[in-house]
Amino acid sequence: MSSDLTQRGASNSLLAANVEKTVLPNGIRILTDSVPHTHSATYAAWVGIGGRDEPAQIAGASHFLEHLLFKGTSRRTAVDIAIAIDGVGGDINAYTASEYTAFFARVPSSESELALDVLLDLVSDPALAEKDVEGEREVILEELAAAEDDPEDLVGVRLFECLFPQHPLGREVLGTTSSVETVSREQLVTFFQQWYQNSNLVVTAAGDVDHAAVVSAVESAFADATTGESPTRVKPHEPVGTVLTETRSGELVHLAFGWRTGGVGSSDRFALALLNHVFGTGPSSRLFQEVRESRGLTYSISSGISQFSDAGALSVQCATSPSKASQLISVVTALIDDLCSTGITEEELSRAKRSIRGSVLLGIEDSGARGARLGISETLRRSVTPLDEHLELIDAVTQEQVLQAAQRVLGSARVLAAIGPASHTQSQESASAEKVIQGLEFLSQS
């Protein structure tokens, strides 16, 4: 068993987290962030398998298993699991991403032993009963239908299909109606047995937690598990500039712009974070101030970064009336051109650094956020950057580095997805979405 302890910063600061990491002989990695003065504890199991690791015929298997693990184990029913955590005022939940699936429980620290036992039980020993497979199949099909009915969600899905063409990163993690309808219990059990193994498992705990107790519990829960294998992933090839349009009923045209970026380990990730903040994060961003506040072209517009182990994306999403869509695209394009030619100002850079630092400091007061930071970093990068070092790297970014990031990312091939009505009937003077869409290709490549 190997163990390391990292302590950095002043002892009276939340940045001076007592982060410990233990790697068990069977391959499971355990990380804890001890903050003794808190009254909460968050425990999580991070399985390094997600939507990109599934064959197309069983797309959505990871998300399906996320549902099934809460249906019971050999020791507990689904009701037992819910009562155990809800009965102490805690929360238990999970979510599926492209490269991992996370299960977590947050409880008062006095209930840590219970929470850890329940969490490890459902991850290590799920029942995966046939009746539960059929019941959750219907639930997930309803979830898929709801996603398909929401153009705001759907335009983001379509954008990623174009950003990562013919690649699992461009696929909805829920799967498809066809794959969810046809996947069998045997296929799900095989998928679980193949991938929910020690080499793909990270367990984290944050808040008022005891590292040794977590290690002991994990050792006991996974005493009989095998080391297993890690997935082999194919890096996505570069996209070409393209436009995707889809006709849907409604009053608004939903737009999503996207560019490919590097992954979680790329050298420009800190410059890109600052660029994204100035460009479209929050009410002080250029997108919000120019598109929403100055011109009233949309109710809401923002940008965001999605990063995976070997690739990533910067995206912008908004909705507007068909009559305003062309103008909105032109304004966004002008803002992008300006960022690529002149970058950001020193004042914007300083403000973005202060904002990110403030968000980090506020976030680490929550045990869930502290645990998520450990789990995601270890799962995707196999390392965790200490908080003070992370902030130092943000502070060290220069205007020139942000300009270079803008030119590399925003100056690269652009993808635009649009979903809207075929015509706008409320006003004869309003342009139809169809006419807007005809102009999208030119505008997206300008």
Length of the chain counted residue by residue: 446
Q: What is the mean pLDDT of residues 233-250?
A: 85
Lowest-pLDDT choice from 65-79, 105-119, 242-256: 242-256
With H, G, I as helix, E, B as strand and everything else as coil, classify residue 211.
helix
With H, G, I as helix, E, B as strand and everything else as coil, classify residue 424.
coil
pLDDT above 70 for 440: no
In the prediction, which pLDDT does 139 show?
A: 97
pLDDT above 80 for 355: yes
> Burial level of 244, CB count in 10 A (0-12/13-18/19+)?
middle
In the prediction, which pLDDT does 239 show?
A: 82
Which CA distances in Å does 382 have to 31, 89, 345, 389? Answer: 11, 33, 35, 17
* Contact of 424 with 300, CB cutoff 8 Å: no
The rounded mean pLDDT for the chain is 90
In the prediction, which pLDDT does 421 show?
A: 86
pLDDT above 90 for 276: yes
pLDDT confidence bin for 36, thresholds 50/70/90: confident
pLDDT above 90 for 437: no
Say how far apart CA 434 and CA 132 lie, in whole Å. 45
Q: What is the mean pLDDT of residues 383-389?
A: 90
| % of the chain with per-residue pLDDT over 90 | 80
Say how far apart CA 158 and CA 300 lie, in whole Å. 19
Residues in Cβ contact with 286 at an 8 Å cutoff, skipping those fewer than 6 apart: 278, 279, 280, 335, 339
**Among the CATH numbers 3.40.50.720, 3.30.1490.20, 3.30.830.10, 3.40.50.1820, which is that of 242-445?**
3.30.830.10
pLDDT above 90 for 50: yes
pLDDT tens per residue, range 147-175: 999 999 999 999 999 999 999 999 999 99
pLDDT confidence bin for 17, thresholds 50/70/90: low
In the prediction, which pLDDT does 439 show?
A: 44
Token pair for 307: 């990063």
Q: Strands of 145-300 (E only): list them.
A: 201-207, 242-247, 253-261
In the prediction, which pLDDT does 37 show?
A: 85
In the prediction, which pLDDT does 15 show?
A: 52
pLDDT above 60 for 438: no
Q: What is the mean pLDDT of residues 397-423?
A: 92
pLDDT confidence bin for 428, thresholds 50/70/90: very low
pLDDT above 70 for 99: yes
In the prediction, which pLDDT does 277 show?
A: 98
With H, G, I as helix, E, B as strand and everything else as coil, classify residue 152.
helix
In the prediction, which pLDDT does 246 show?
A: 85
Q: Give the catalytic positions in this structure.
A: 66
pLDDT above 80 for 64: yes
Q: Where are the domains of the chain?
A: 2-221, 242-445
In the prediction, which pLDDT does 434 show?
A: 43
| Phi/psi of residue 279, nearest 5 degrees | -70, -50
Say how far apart CA 106 and CA 338 lie, in whole Å. 45
pLDDT above 60 for 417: yes
pLDDT above 70 for 399: yes
pLDDT confidence bin for 8, thresholds 50/70/90: very low
pLDDT confidence bin for 427, thresholds 50/70/90: very low
Residues in Cβ contact with 81 at an 8 Å cutoff, skipping those fewer than 6 apart: 70, 72, 73, 92, 118, 122
pLDDT above 70 for 226: yes
Is there a shared CATH topology between the 2-221 domain and the 242-445 domain? yes
Q: Tokens 């599926």 map to which residue?
A: 96
Which CA distances in Å does 287 have to 75, 347, 400, 436? Answer: 52, 17, 21, 20
Fold assignment, 2-221: Cytochrome Bc1 Complex; Chain A, domain 1 (3.30.830)
Q: Helices (H) and strands (E) in the chain — how many of each?
A: 16, 12
Q: What is the mean pLDDT of residues 295-307?
A: 96
pLDDT above 60 for 420: yes
pLDDT above 80 for 304: yes
